[in-house]
Structures are given as C-alpha cells and as structure tokens.
Homo-oligomer: A and B are copies of this chain.
Amino acid sequence: MCLSQVHAAINKQTAEGIKIIKRLINQRSTSTDACGIRECALLLKNIMSGLGIKAYLIETEGNPVVYGEVLSNEPDAPTLVLYNHYDVQPIGAETDWTTPPFSATEKDGRIYGRGAGDNKGQLAANLFGVSEYLRVNGQVPVNIKFIIEGEEEIGCPSFKRFLKNNKDLLKGDIVIICDSSIHSSGAPYMIYGVRGSLKLSLRSVTANTDHHSGNKGGVIPEAAWELVQVLASMYDKNYNVTIDGFYDGIIEPNNKELQWIDSIPYDPDELTAAYELAKPLSLSRREYYYRLMFRPTLSILGIKSGLVQNGGIPGAIPGSAQAILNIRFPYPQTVDHLFRAVEKHVKNINPGIEVIFHSSSPAARTKTDLPILNTIESALENAFGKKVIHLPSMGASWASFCLWEQVMNMPAVIIPYANIDENNHSPNENISINCFITGAHAIAEIIYALGNA
C-alpha cells in the first residue's frame, strides 16, 4: 500500500473534500429542535455511499446514527472506530453571523457555517481521508467503522442504549473521537480522559415570603446568610475544598503523565489575558494541569437571592436563596460518592438546607500505556509535523466518551482537527481548510500506521 500517493491525492482533491463539508453544512441539522436531522442523516449516508463507504442508518430511541464501514481484506486487521456527530448547535442570533449559517461560505482559507468545526468539518476530513486512501489503494489495511451520532449537542440521550444494542457491530480496538480543536501552535492533541460533572443546588428557605428589612432585620433568620454560611464552609482560603471525602479515591499522576504535563504549553500571562482575569494566574504549570485533570473542583455556577439592581433597591429580606454548584471530578471518582459527601457536609452545617441533584456525567480515563496509542501518536506527528501534546484528561466532561469504556470496554482517545478559533457553539463557526486537510492526512497516516504496526 502506498501512503505518499494518498497524501498527494488528498492535496490534489481538496476541492472535492471541501464539497463534502459544504453539502453537510447546507443541510441544517439542529438537534435541539430536530430540524433537518433525518434529512442530514440521509444526505450523509448518500455522501458516504458515493465515497465507497458502505453506510446505513441505525434507528435509536432518538435521532438515527449513521453507521458506515470499510472492511479490510486482511483477516487479522485491527478495527478502528471513528466517532463523529452530524447534529449541530442552534445558531443563536443570526444577525451575529457575517455569513448565512446554513449556507457554507468559503472565505480567507476557511469554510464558514454552523457545524463547520463542530463537527461536520472534522467528520468530512475523516470521510475524505478514508475515501482517498481507498481510491488510491483500492483497499484499507484496517477495518474502519464510522459511528456518526445525531444527538451529541443534546447530551447523547440515546447513545448508551445504541451502544448496548449494537455491541458486536461496533466493536473495535480503539475509538478515535475527532472533535474539539488543536493547540494554538498547530500541534495535535491526544486526550485520554474526561472529568465527570455533577450539578446540584443548595437551597435555603427561611420564610415563605420576603420580609421588610427594617421591620424584621435582625430578628428573623435570613435565607441568604444561611446559604452563604454553608457555602463558605466548603472552601478554605486557598480554594481547597473542605468537604469530608471530597478528594477520596483520586489517583495521582504517574511519571509519564507528569512528563506529559511538563510538556503542555503553558504561559500564565497569556492565559490571564485570554481569560480576561482580574488578577494574574499564579499557578505553576504542574499545579494548573494537576488541578484541571487530576483533582475534583467545586465551582459556583450561580447564586440567586432577592433582587440585585443598582437603583430602587426594595428593602426586602428574601425568604429563600439558591446556589448552583458544579463539581468536576477525575476518574475514578463517582457522582454518588461526591453527592453523598456534599449532602453529609451540608447536613452537618445546616440541616435546613436542601441539596438538590440536577444532572451528572461520569469521569473516564483511557489507559495510556497501550501500544496502539504510540502508533497513533507517530502517525499524528507525521501528519501535523509537530509533537503531540498529551492530555491525560480534559478538564471538561463528555458523556459519550465514558460510554466507550463503560459499555464497549474499548479505549477511546480524543483527537481534535479543528482550528482553535473554530467558534463552535458561537456565531461565525468555521474550519480552516488547512485543518481540514491536515485532518484528512492524519486519518490516512493512522490507517496506514495501524495496518503496518
């Protein structure tokens, strides 16, 4: 098999590849309102068939998954599963867009439109790379399975059941999730895990009505104070969480992971500016990534009590107060353990305060010592011409990531293709044509490398 001809073909046929992105963008597929979902799934199936990929829709309890496969002639070929999604975020205010969101527009080396980066452009890169590989070589050295979901932007509600129902069909040696963006330097990421997420509320009710702060101030309990007292008891001044059991079961980074962390680009001044922080970030590189990947953290997403306005302040003591908290936690911590720890803590401090569960997503981490990951790493470095940045975990959560391990018992790795300014979930979403083409080269490299490992 020849790889250099595949690269040459990808470069030569770029315009054909871009057509795939454009056709997909032009078919709206917003899962929040299910608008165009089935049309997009069918379009995608047709595009894939046209590229020589056997494709069909698999119905789920929700939106259909588009399944595709290109099987190898080699009897012992490994199986590579590629995960993408064809649904997109809503567009927000159309007036914030400089191009029509559902009409793909090429401009300044980028393709603009809803889904360009997240995730149609990255999906198209995989389709394009695989199809060029196939066209040049007439076959592939690995079995390739495409799993293209239609509910990613609404939290993958049907995906777990889908995996369970199609275990044999979907089985593979590794799943690569091509989503999110590469590093600003152009270096590729390999991301091996996600933090879990637990959203919950603390709710304090001291009276069923508000009270005049003059007539009652000082003689009745105040919901906001009670809430503040409990919240304050959860943290020390160094942002260490003081909830008993909060850090139970966390696994410290091993030497390899520490080395990886030490190689992640980190410029606190740049981040301070980019994050628009009031005070400069003072964490060391290790502290920064350690906290983000290996430690559970507790954030206040919102507090509400009474009325906050800068004029005409009514003198009312609110009878209730609520705070929404978000715990992000590393594998192998669990939602149950953390929720119970919070409940116990709150009960100890103030049993009158209610702890309300909202939603959760588990943490997961792929074993990082699998030989197949080294093969992929080399392939990526060939395609990108830069060293891979290894992230033991994202700080964020990703419900479907966890399912690969949980349901399929398969290792998963996130390999983003999009440019850092893809504006996903925002107006003027785009993918740079360079990133798209590099993605296609990357998947070709990976196929070749896995076939020759």
Which A residues lie at the B interface, using CB under 8 A?
Answer: 195, 197, 199, 201, 205-209, 211-222, 224-225, 228-229, 231-233, 235, 237, 239, 275-279, 281, 283, 288, 291-292, 295, 297-310, 313-319, 321-324, 326, 328, 352, 356, 358-359, 394-397
| A215-B394, A283-B219, A326-B217 known; A228 vs B300 contact (CB < 8 Å) | yes
Separation of A310 and B200 alpha carbons in the complex (Å): 9
| Interface pair B235/A277, CB less than 8 Å apart | no
Residue among B221, B279, B316, B319 making CB contact with A301, cutoff 8 Å: B316
How far apart are the CA atoms of A209 and B271 in the complex, in Å? 13
B residues less than 8 Å from A224 (CB atoms) = 300, 302-303, 323
CA distance A214 to B191 in the complex (A): 14
Q: A224-B300, A303-B308 are in contact. Are A235 and B239 (CB under 8 A)?
A: no
Interface pairs (24), CB distance under 8 Å: A212-B396, A213-B301, A214-B395, A215-B292, A217-B328, A218-B239, A218-B292, A218-B395, A219-B281, A219-B283, A220-B277, A220-B281, A221-B278, A225-B300, A279-B352, A300-B306, A301-B307, A301-B314, A302-B308, A302-B309, A303-B303, A304-B308, A310-B356, A313-B324
CB distance B292 to A315 under 8 Å? no
**Chain B residues within 8 Å of A298, by CB:** 217
When distances are taken between beta carbons in the complex, the residues of chain B under 8 Å from A233 are 232
The residue from B222, B279, B301, B319 contacting A206, defined by CB atoms under 8 A apart: B279
Is the Cβ of A305 less than 8 Å from the Cβ of B300?
yes
What residues of chain B lie closer than 8 Å to A216, measured between beta carbons?
275, 292, 395
With CB as the reference atom, state the residue of chain B lying closest to A350. B237
A207 and B275 form a contact (CB under 8 A): yes
Cβ A211 vs Cβ B278 within 8 A: no
Q: How far is the CB of A210 from chain B (nearest CB, A)?
A: 9
- Oligomeric state, in number of copies? 2
Known: A232-B231, A302-B305, A321-B303. A279 touches B221 (CB 8 A): yes
Q: How far, in angstroms, from A218 to B326 measured CA to CA in the complex? A: 11
A231-B232, A304-B308 given; name 11 further pairs at CB < 8 Å. A201-B310, A214-B395, A218-B292, A220-B281, A224-B323, A228-B231, A303-B305, A306-B324, A308-B324, A313-B324, A313-B359
In the assembled complex, how far is the CB of residue A296 from the closest CB belonging to chain B, in whole angstroms? 8
Per the bound structure, the CA–CA distance linking A215 and B420 in Å amounts to: 14
Tell me if A's interface is mostly helix, strand, loop or mixed: mixed
A359 proximity list for chain B (CB < 8 A): 313
Q: Which partner residue on chain B sits nearest A326 by CB separation?
A: B213
Q: Determine whether the beta carbon of B315 is less than 8 Å from that of A301.
A: yes
Q: How far is the CA of A315 from the CA of B395 in the complex (A)?
A: 12
Q: How far is the CB of A309 from chain B (nearest CB, A)?
A: 8
Q: Is the CB of A219 within 8 A of B276?
A: no
Tell me, rounded to whole Å, the shortest Cβ–Cβ distance linking A335 to chain B.
Answer: 15
Tell me if B301 and A306 are in contact (CB < 8 A): yes
> Are B313 and A307 closer than 8 Å at their CB atoms?
no
Min distance, Cβ A180 to any Cβ of chain B, angstroms: 10
What is the distance, in angstroms, from A306's C-beta to the closest C-beta of chain B?
Answer: 3
B221 near A232 (CB under 8 angstroms)?
no
Determine whether the beta carbon of A205 is less than 8 Å from that of B235.
no
Which chain B residues lie closer than 8 Å to A328 at the CB level?
213-214, 217-218
Return chain B residues, CB-CB under 8 Å to A218: 239, 291-292, 295, 297, 299, 328, 395
Q: Which residues of B contact A239 (CB under 8 A)?
A: 218, 221, 225
| Contact residues in B for A212 (Cβ distance below 8 Å) | 395-396
7 closest A-B pairs by beta carbon, nearest first, are: A214-B396, A218-B297, A232-B232, A302-B306, A224-B300, A304-B308, A208-B276
